[in-house]
Amino acid sequence: MSYEINIIVINQSTPVHLKHSTRILLHNEIEDSEVNRYAEIWPFFSSNKGILYTIVEEINDGFYNASKLCDSDFEGAVPENLFPVWISTKIKENLTPLLIRDGLHGEFINIIQYLLNCAPQKRILFQTRYQGRDEEVVLGVIKISKFKEMLIKKQILFNVCYILESD
């Protein structure tokens, strides 16, 4: 399965880079032509001004994606309280938990926190996706501390855009 972890740093005009060497890489749309917005599938996410980043790892020579960083539980039931009432059953089928692989959770959170700290208004859009039926689902503003808690509890879902802001 091919996974993507995408972040738009709202109103950012110059890309930032990780200050330390890590197996997790941060690519941006300014310097890497492989980083793309999906304006037709994700119009709200894609239309926001700022820089789009994708969190990846090199899979093999020159091929990058997030499949070694994360996974999902396609068989487990997602608690109904995680879904807004307006989401249809068909859309719910493609909303599964984002699971960060063992040993990468702290580093993953540090990268998200770094991007949030670099954001001009301390606000980012966080979106994960995998190949499947793409329907844009955007959930409201979440403080970064709540996001971290939800990630640990496996309550952050694939194919959803979260608006994250500093505490």
Give me the pLDDT at residue 17, please.
95
Pair of tokens at residue 101: 């692989």
Name the β-bridge partners of 130.
3
Low-confidence ranges of the chain (pLDDT < 50): none
Could you give phi then psi for residue 27, rounded to 5 degrees?
-100, 150
- SS3 state at 161: strand
Q: What pLDDT is recorded for position 126?
A: 97
Q: What does the radius of gyration of the chain's CA atoms come to, in whole angstroms?
A: 15
